[in-house]
Amino acid sequence: MAQLNDWPWRYWARLRPADTALTVGQEAVSWRQLRQRIDALAASFQRQGVTPGYGVVLCGKNDYPLLLAYLALLQCGARLLPLNPALPLRTREALLPALDIRFAVAPDGTPAEIGGLSVLDADAAGGGEPLDIGWQPQRLATLTLTSGSSGLPKAAAHSCAGHLASAEGVLQLMAFQPGDSWLLSLPLYHVSGQGIIWRWLAAGAQLVVRAGMPLAQALAGCSHASLVPTQLWRLLSQPQASLALKEVLLGGAMIPVSLTEQAEAKGIRCWCGYGLTEFASTVCAKRADAQPGVGLPLAGREIRLVDEEIWIRAASMALGYWRDGRLQPIGDAQGWFHSRDRGVMAQGELRIIGRLDNLFFSGGEGVQPEDVERVLAAHPQISQVFVVPVDDAEFGQRPAAVIEGDGALSLEALLLWAQDRLANFQRPVALWHLPEQLKSGGIKIARRQVQEWASRQW
């Protein structure tokens, strides 16, 4: 990997100015052009008052203007918070005051009400050179909100060095060369999207930005993509999808072996990753095989299992959670982050069992919802499933299943199919189809919302 001694886009613009840095829609943008666009925008942001260390919210669809603003704000030394435009106003209002934010940038004008912040003009004609604050990879650069299962999201603070350390580990596993192109297939407000950006910048390869296009179409000509399992299921179900796609990095949720087998049969090389916001994306990964694990820690990461809880330490670890103007440590005294994920080592690799917080008891038996989900997810009519507890007078709680997939599947049929695969206490007592209203928002469906919804149906 390149030994960067400048902002990566300036480094590549110097080394290979005419090479394609990215494709926007169908149009190629060279590193020289990219650098010029970023310089102009950074100069404009500086004129509008952006100063190193200032908090700036970045909000909008995952398009080229958003990417330019992300890179230009980094170059201004801002403390950059990419925000999901679908985040409810209430959450945003509860969250932002503790994060010390001065400005907002919303290149496509969404959303109108950014909570009383002054909105910077992202179209402002540049002109002039930006003030050079210098490439200091160790300083705090981004705040990324966690999708915590309870309470308000936390803002994990990363430096550029942390993002690059994350990229480096992945690039030691997966080949990503200058001729290759990675689709920006996940949002920048999530680490999985930022992970794509930093691998691109670290490798000096190509990025493809195609917002608002169906995935199968957006993938045209791309060699790489990062997908959550449901995206890949949907893609495989479209028979016409002619794919140049060579490599897919999967992550964010349990990755069924049946999914990677189907994809590999279509010539897509799959990589199974386990990543977290606190670690700027991927921690463990492997080339998909017949085992349901996520491989071993990538270079620069260490894991420990303590009472089946996964503890992690890595160069890509967040500097802390940003709150009330300072960093709160995220590790213990030895620097270990306690993930609340349950895992075991099996056949020489890490296997994720589920979230410790998801465990519930039914008639005295512990139900780890993900154990049941793994079984049910193998049903051919199910593409995604959540098992959540519903109250029960006799058992305390019992499992219920909320599925995405074939609308005709009944509980009776499912139970019959799963007969030998589930213990009695694991057997769902109800089956519902995931309602549309729970599908909006981030890249993941919030289990807590599914559970609340299921309780209301029960």
| Residue 191 beta carbon to ligand 4YB: minimum distance, rounded to whole angstroms | 5
3-state secondary structure of 181: strand
Which class for 264: exposed (0-12), middle (13-18), buried (19 or more C-beta within 10 A)? Answer: middle
3-state secondary structure of 337: strand
313 forms bridges with which residues in the sheet? 302
- Closest CB to ligand 4YB among residues 38, 249: 249
- Closest CB to ligand 4YB among residues 23, 192: 192
- Closest CB to ligand 4YB among residues 30, 291: 291
Q: Which of 43, 174, 228, 235 binds ligand 4YB (CB under 6 A)?
A: 228
Q: Are 183 and 156 in contact (CB under 8 A)?
A: no
| Cβ count near 86 (within 10 Å) | 13
- Closest CB to ligand 4YB among residues 107, 169: 169
| Residue 239 beta carbon to ligand 4YB: minimum distance, rounded to whole angstroms | 24
Q: Which of 44, 142, 206, 277 binds ligand 4YB (CB under 6 A)?
A: 277
| Cβ count near 49 (within 10 Å) | 11
Give the CA distances from residue 19 to residues 7, 31, 33, 197, in Å, rounded to whole numbers and listed in that order. 17, 6, 10, 17
- Closest CB to ligand 4YB among residues 77, 85: 85
Task: Say whether residue 191 binds ligand 4YB (CB under 6 A).
Answer: yes
Q: Which long-range contacts (CB under 8 A, 24 or more apart) does 93-100 make?
A: 94/152, 95/145, 95/152, 95/153, 96/57, 98/323, 98/324, 99/55, 99/143, 99/155, 99/322, 99/323, 100/55, 100/322, 100/324, 100/325
Q: Are 168 and 299 in contact (CB under 8 A)?
A: yes
88-147 residues near ligand 4YB, rule: CB under 6 A: 146-147
- Closest CB to ligand 4YB among residues 43, 58: 58
Q: Residue 70: left (phi > 0), alpha (psi -120 to 50), or beta?
A: alpha
Task: Say whether residue 275 binds ligand 4YB (CB under 6 A).
Answer: yes
What span, in angstroms and rounded, lies between the C-alpha atoms of 354 and 375? 13
Among candidate residues 98, 109, 40, 105, the one with its CA nearest the CA of residue 78: 105
140-169 residues near ligand 4YB, rule: CB under 6 A: 146-147
The length of the chain, given as a count of residues:
458
| Residue 240 beta carbon to ligand 4YB: minimum distance, rounded to whole angstroms | 24
The 8-class DSSP code of residue 62 comes to S
What span, in angstroms and rounded, lies between the C-alpha atoms of 194 and 280? 8
Q: Cα 262–266–271 angle (5° rounding)?
A: 65
Task: Say whether residue 399 binds ligand 4YB (CB under 6 A).
Answer: no
Q: Which of 253, 257, 296, 356 binds ligand 4YB (CB under 6 A)?
A: 253
Task: Say whether residue 187 binds ligand 4YB (CB under 6 A).
Answer: no
| Cβ count near 172 (within 10 Å) | 12
Task: Say whether residue 282 binds ligand 4YB (CB under 6 A).
Answer: yes
Please choose, out of 41-49, 106-114, 272-280, 425-433, the segment that lies near ligand 4YB by the rule CB under 6 A: 272-280
Task: Say whether residue 194 binds ligand 4YB (CB under 6 A).
Answer: no
Q: Which of 23, 75, 223, 226 binds ligand 4YB (CB under 6 A)?
A: 226
Task: Say whether residue 276 binds ligand 4YB (CB under 6 A).
Answer: yes
| Residue 181 beta carbon to ligand 4YB: minimum distance, rounded to whole angstroms | 16
Q: Which of 139, 338, 355, 448 binds ligand 4YB (CB under 6 A)?
A: 355
Q: Which of 29, 42, 74, 255 binds ligand 4YB (CB under 6 A)?
A: 255
Task: Say whether residue 414 binds ligand 4YB (CB under 6 A).
Answer: no
Residues in contact with ligand 4YB, counted by CB under 6 A, come to a total of 27
Q: Which of 55, 195, 256, 405 binds ligand 4YB (CB under 6 A)?
A: 195
Task: Say whether residue 252 binds ligand 4YB (CB under 6 A).
Answer: yes
Task: Say whether residue 288 binds ligand 4YB (CB under 6 A).
Answer: no
Task: Say whether residue 247 binds ligand 4YB (CB under 6 A).
Answer: no
- Closest CB to ligand 4YB among residues 95, 117: 95
Element housing 340 (H / E): strand 337-346
| Residue 415 beta carbon to ligand 4YB: minimum distance, rounded to whole angstroms | 25
Please choose, out of 88-96, 125-133, 267-275, 411-419, the segment that lies near ligand 4YB by the rule CB under 6 A: 267-275
What span, in angstroms and rounded, lies between the C-alpha atoms of 261 and 263? 5
Say what the alpha-carbon torsion angle 255, 259, 264, 267 is, to the nearest 10 degrees: -110
Residue closest to ligand 4YB when measured from CB atoms:
251
The pair of three-digit structure tokens given for residue 122, joined into one six-digit string: 């992202």
Write out the residues near ligand 4YB by the rule CB under 6 A. 146-147, 191-192, 195, 226-228, 249-255, 273-277, 281-282, 294, 339, 341, 352, 355
